[in-house]
Amino acid sequence: MTKTKGDFGGRVKELRERLHLTQEAMAETLGVSFATVNRWENGWTAPSKLALRQIDLLCKERRIAPLNSDKG
């Protein structure tokens, strides 16, 4: 298993922290496992297109910048 390129995992973690969620709570909110969120944050995998859409919807609901934005 190889790590994903860039600092995508760091961005996922930053987003989760801005949402004030634990890994477990973010996983439950997105309908994925805790291990999946953990793998995203550690750079082992990246969210699927479906998960990215769910993350974007969550960001819109909470009125924060999505992952693909450099704005905070």
Q: Would residue 38 count as lying in a domain?
A: yes
Query: What is the pLDDT of the chain when averaged over all its residues?
Result: 87
Q: Would residue 19 count as lying in a domain?
A: yes
Q: How much is the pLDDT for 72?
A: 42
Q: How much is the pLDDT for 70?
A: 47
Q: How much is the pLDDT for 3?
A: 60
Q: Would residue 3 count as lying in a domain?
A: no
pTM (two decimals): 0.81
- Alpha-carbon distance of 72 to 56, in angstroms, equals 14
Q: Which residues contact 62 (CB under 8 A, 6 or more apart)?
A: 19
Please give the tally of structural domains in the chain. Answer: 1
Task: Give the residue numbers spanning the domain of 21.
Answer: 8-60
Q: Would residue 33 count as lying in a domain?
A: yes
Q: How much is the pLDDT for 2?
A: 58
Question: What separation, in Å, do the N-terminal and C-terminal C-alpha atoms of the chain show?
Answer: 31
Whether 20 has a pLDDT exceeding 90, the answer reads yes
CATH number at residue 56: 1.10.260.40
The stretch 45-69 carries a mean pLDDT of 89
